[in-house]
Amino acid sequence: MVSRYTHLNPIRVKEKAIKTNEDKFKYLENYKWSSLPGSINKKREDEIVNYEAILLEFGGVNAKGLRSYKELLYYNMTKGLR
């Protein structure tokens, strides 16, 4: 999944500097050059991004889809899956 790779990419550069998984994910959630914030938080959506393209397979652009995608990314990040 390209979106997973892209959304986790910013921590690869900082991986050694950021110690805890929680801090790594916070860094990702606030990375300003990413569409991730809107992919996991409806309030942070950007009007030029098509979130449906990613979130459809997770339940859609709704609470379930946002939560499921966030959980997948967090899991992949903690397991070192790219």
Q: What percent of the chain has pLDDT over 70?
A: 94
What's the rounded mean pLDDT across residues 69-82?
Answer: 88
State how far the Cα of 1 lies from the Cα of 72, in Å rounded to an integer. Answer: 11
**Which residues, 6+ apart, have CB-to-CB distance to 49 below 8 Å?**
35, 38, 39
Give the DSSP letter of residue 66: H
pLDDT tens by residue, 53-63: 999 999 999 99
Rounded CA-CA distance 36/50 in Å is 12
